[in-house]
Amino acid sequence: MRRLLFAFALIPMLFASMAFAGDAEIKAAQTVIDSQLKAFLADDGATAYSFAAPNVKRIFPTVDTFMNMVTHGYAPVRRPQSYSFGKVEQTGPASIIQQVLIVGPDGKDYEAVYTLEQQPDGSFKITGCSLRASTSVST
């Protein structure tokens, strides 16, 4: 009986630590996105590229090819006037989907949806980003 009571006493602590771990992972993922966006704004392609996951680097094997793709296909991400984090979902212990609300260089609203995966070294890297114009921005 004592063991059963002890087990029930531990359940809230386990859930609290799981929530904290999720919060820490989400914050780490947001830091990666924020750092990449700041690198784009600073014209620091090498740093921006460093946040790309191996799957992205296989498709774009050099900083130049990566930056060319971002410049021509993701102008609002490349040169945001402003951005803020929206909805986030932890889809697994090592996977996060993060909405970023962007005001592009043209002054229009965009929604970027980033996918990130935790790497073997514990860091998060960006595995993809989809971008669409937004007529109504919600968080």
The confidence score (pLDDT) of residue 59 equals 98
Q: What is the CA radius of gyration of the chain?
A: 18
pLDDT for 136 equals 59
Residue 95: predicted pLDDT: 96
CATH classification (class only), 2-133: alpha beta
* Residue listed under structure tokens 């609203």: 109
Could you tell me the two tokens for 3? 């063991």
Write down the domain spans for the chain.
2-133
- Report the C-alpha dihedral over residues 60, 126, 87, 38, rounded to 10 degrees: -80
Q: How far apart are CA 84 and CA 72, in angstroms?
A: 22
pTM exceeds 0.75, yes or no: yes
Angle of CA points 136, 137, 139, to nearest 5°:
140
Q: pLDDT of the chain along its 139 residues, tens only?
A: 544 333 344 444 333 333 344 789 999 999 999 999 999 999 999 999 999 999 999 999 999 999 999 999 999 999 999 999 999 999 988 999 999 999 999 999 999 999 999 999 999 999 999 999 987 545 5
